[in-house]
């Protein structure tokens, strides 16, 4: 996968005030932010870039609501320090649709009723896209295992599994 600016892979720069400047790509758009070095990717997405599709559930790596892709691999953005994505490509749920068309996984979640309140859904969808890409969604049990880091308090699991299977076919 191409990086927006490979020359930046030496790491973020730190300024005299202790902030770090991080350059990365989000959904194909180059971004450059000066932040406290403790800033998480999740907070940068939601509070600096206003990409609020990525949800903050537990903020401690236990629910999966904050799942995004970094260089095509799923990560928990609440546990990812923004500086760690310097020079990398981030994809959020807002970046899945192309040319005005929803991603097949997004369509499958709608058609299979793979949601109730919808709070966990962006994270579920980002995980499902990665799971399908990894080829780790053979049986229902494999789908459940691969998606086990994404908690749904509404218990929409049966329909989530159906959505993953529909998107796979
Ligand atoms: S908000 Fe990141 S795992 Fe819950
Ligand atoms: S749809 Fe409500 S938490 Fe999953």
- The rounded Å distance from CA 164 to ligand 2 centre is 16
- The rounded Å distance from CA 131 to ligand 2 centre is 19
Q: Which H/E stretch holds residue 7?
A: none
> Which protein residues touch ligand 1 with a CB less than 6 Å away?
56-59, 61-66, 76, 78
In this predicted structure, what is the pLDDT of residue 50? 98
Average pLDDT of the segment spanning 69-93: 98
Mutate to test the pocket of ligand 1, among 64, 68, 119, 150 (most ligand atoms within 8 A of CB): 64
Q: Which domains does the chain have, with CATH numbers?
A: 6-95 (3.10.20.30), 104-168 (1.10.150.120)
CA atoms of 101 and 67, how far apart (whole Å): 21
CA atoms of 158 and 115, how far apart (whole Å): 10
Q: What is the pTM of this model?
A: 0.92
Looking at the predicted structure, is the pLDDT value of residue 73 above 60? yes
Q: What does the pLDDT look like over 27-60, one tens digit per residue?
A: 999 999 999 999 999 999 999 999 999 999 999 9
User: What values do phi and psi take at 55, rounded to 5?
Assistant: -95, 150
- The rounded Å distance from CA 58 to ligand 1 centre is 5
DSSP 86-145: TT-EEE-GGGS-BTTB--HHHHHHHHTT--SS-SSHHHHHHHHHHHHHHT--SSHHHHHH
SS3 at position 19: coil
Q: Which residue has the tokens 């995004």?
A: 68
């Amino acid at each position: 996968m191409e990086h927006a600016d490979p020359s930046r892979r030496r790491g973020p720069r730190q300024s005299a005030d202790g902030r770090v400047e991080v350059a990365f790509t989000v959904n194909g758009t180059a971004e450059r932010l000066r932040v406290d070095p403790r800033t998480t990717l999740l907070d940068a997405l939601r509070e600096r870039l206003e990409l609020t599709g990525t949800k903050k559930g537990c903020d401690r790596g236990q629910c999966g609501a904050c799942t995004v892709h970094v260089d095509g691999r799923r990560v928990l953005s609440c546990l990812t320090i923004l500086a760690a994505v310097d020079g990398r490509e981030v994809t959020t749920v807002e970046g899945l649709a192309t040319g005005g068309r929803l991603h097949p996984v997004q369509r499958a979640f709608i058609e299979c009723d793979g949601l109730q309140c919808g709070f966990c859904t962006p994270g579920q969808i980002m995980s499902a896209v990665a799971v399908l890409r990894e080829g780790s969604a053979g049986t229902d049990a494999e789908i459940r295992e691969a998606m086990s880091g994404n908690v749904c308090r509404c218990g929409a699991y049966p329909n989530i599994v159906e959505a993953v299977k529909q998107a796979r076919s």
